[in-house]
Amino acid sequence: MPSTPRKNILWLARVERRFHSWRERRARARGQRPTVAAFPGYGGEGWVRVLGRVLIAPKVKPLGGGEYASVRGWRSFASVPVAFAQVSIEVDGVTHDVVADRGGVIDVELPGDLTPGWQTISMSVEGSDVIETRVFIVSSDVDFGIVSDIDDTVMVTALPRPFVAAWNSFVLDEHARQPVPGMAVMLERLTRDRPGTPVIYLSTGAWNVAPTLMRFLRRHLFPSGPMLLTDWGPTHDRWFRSGQDHKAENLQRLAKEFPHIRWLLVGDDGQHDDALYTAFASEHPDRVRGVAIRRLSPAEAVLAGGRTAVNDHAAADVPWVTGSDGAALLDRLTDVGVHPGT
pLDDT per position as a tens digit, 99-117: 999 889 999 999 999 999 9
**How far is it, in rounded angstroms, from Cα 180 to Cα 158?**
12
Domains contained in the chain, CATH given:
3-135 (2.60.40.10), 144-335 (3.40.50.1000)
Contact, 143 vs 263, CB < 8 A?
Answer: no
| Mean pLDDT computed over 24-36 | 82
pTM: 0.85
Task: Select from 234, 226, 223 the least CA-distant residue to 50.
Answer: 226
**How far is it, in rounded angstroms, from Cα 250 to Cα 209?**
19
| pLDDT computed for residue 108 by the predictor | 98
82 vs 66 pLDDT, higher one: 82
pLDDT per position as a tens digit, 4-23: 444 444 555 666 667 667 77
- List the single range of 16-20, 138-142, 252-256 with lowest mean pLDDT: 16-20
DSSP letters of 317-329?
SS-EEEESSHHHH
- List the single range of 20-29, 156-165, 285-294 with lowest mean pLDDT: 156-165
**In degrees, to the nearest 5, what angle opens at C-alpha 17 toward C-alphas 16 and 22?**
100
Burial 25-44 (b: 16+ CB within 10 A, else e): eebeeeeeebbbbbbbbbbb
